[in-house]
Amino acid sequence: GAVVSQHPSWVICKSGTSVKIECRSLDFQATTMFWYRQFPKQSLMLMATSNEGSKATYEQGVEKDKFLINHASLTLSTLTVTSAHPEDSSFYICSAGGGHDSNQPQHFGDGTRLSIL
Amino acid sequence: AQKITQTQPGMFVQEKEAVTLDCTYDTSDPSYGLFWYKQPSSGEMIFLIYQGSYDQQNATEGRYSLNFQKARKSANLVISASQLGDSAMYFCAMREGGSARQLTFGSGTQLTVLP
């Protein structure tokens, strides 16, 4: 079964709306979670690394004020797309895991399809 | 420079045949991990197989095997006895250094299995 839960699966909303996406680790604690963005027929691009109890680390070119990340507990990270516009429409997907063993895979949520009208 | 390169945007294979998806990587870190994920059209990322930089043997998981050639920095995925359900996008990814590090993905290969 799924070890990382992501909600909602899809969102359609008007331009200017803020949208919150949740990523939960279901049966393990994750001090670090990752947020990726994927455009159609393209690869996953890391947006930011979410760290429990501290500020997220954003990749170059990602607007911190546009994509707010909160990692309030060891099982929950949230991504809020603030004042969303059509160009923010994309597939957002989170991951967690890996543990202390480098051979453990990251587990991904099922992703969120965001459409801004 | 690209850290993960997948040179095959699209591949076709006949059902029940084997197929190899190419992946080359670039890193100066002696400790790294290589992963393959499958992404069907529904979007979820499904972990398939892992190869560690220090692993002596090629990884295998059911119908999936990884042809790891360290000197060539390649980590090709071999799918044996292809099934129609194998049609999907396949991503090669690398994690460098410690375990709590992000994955870097290749551009992906769209595999289509023909009946």
pLDDT per position as a tens digit, A56-110: 999 999 999 999 999 988 899 999 999 999 999 999 999 987 655 556 778 899 9
More confident residue, A41 or A6: A6
Instruction: Give the mean pLDDT of chain B.
Output: 94
Does B102 contact A49 at a Cβ distance shorter than 8 Å?
Answer: yes
The residue of chain A nearest to residue B37, with distances taken between CA atoms, is: A105
Å between A11 CA and nearest CA of chain B? 15
**pLDDT range class, residue B112, cuts 50, 70, 90:** very high
More confident residue, A105 or A24: A24
* Number of Cβ atoms within 10 Å of the Cβ of B10: 10
A1 pLDDT exceeds 70?
Answer: no
Interior/surface letters A43-81, b for 16+ CB within 10 angstroms, e for the rest: bbbbbbbbbbeeebebeeebeeeebbbebeeebbbbbeb
